[in-house]
Amino acid sequence: MSNFLGSHAINMDAKGRLAIPTKVREELAHLCGGRIVLTANADEEKCLLLYPEPEWEVLRPKIEALPNMNKAAKRLQRLILGNAAPMELDASGRILVPQPLRKHANLEKRLMLVGLGKKYELWSEESWNAYLDDSAGDEEMPPEMEALSL
């Protein structure tokens, strides 16, 4: 069971390579031998999703099982499965982000790796900061959040 938390500022080079922070790398090495899947986020936020391989293998059949005659389900399948890039951290803990995924998330040099429990999100630093600055007060709060005490 993964427990990815926190935000990490990282850099990507001109070839699309980025080094996973040491703490994250160690957890990924322990959890999945450094084997991960990187894919597009299907939400309106333009970021990437980074799954350890075991988490991906739980999620993938659920996405595949969606009714492909439904336009929304087919779109989700195309975004998530069609952009999935299995990869393994190299000896230095780096990965190469494929160009289509870099373009999808508007990734350039400065990035943010954000832990969400079972996965990470990979954002451009600019998009991440804009997301944090955006007031989400316009959205209706789901009942589960109304009962949450922080």
Does 38 map to a domain?
A: yes
Among 12, 32, 8, residue whose Cα is nearest residue 21: 8
Least trusted range by pLDDT, from 55-64, 117-126, 131-140: 131-140
The count of domains in the chain is 1
Chain-centre distance for alpha carbon 89: 15
- CA–CA separation, 139 vs 135, rounded Å? 9
Q: 18 has which bridge partners?
A: 12, 95
Among 77, 60, 61, residue whose Cα is nearest residue 69: 77
* Residue 89 DSSP one-character state: -
Q: 9-22 pLDDT, tens per residue? A: 999 999 999 999 99
Total residue count of the chain as it appears in this document: 150
pLDDT given at position 146: 74
Does 13 map to a domain?
A: yes
pLDDT at 45 over 70: yes
Does 150 map to a domain?
A: no
How does residue 44 score in pLDDT terms, banded at 50, 70 and 90? confident
Task: Return the CATH number at 31.
Answer: 3.40.1550.20
Domain span including residue 29: 7-131
pLDDT at 52 over 60: yes
Does 141 map to a domain?
A: no
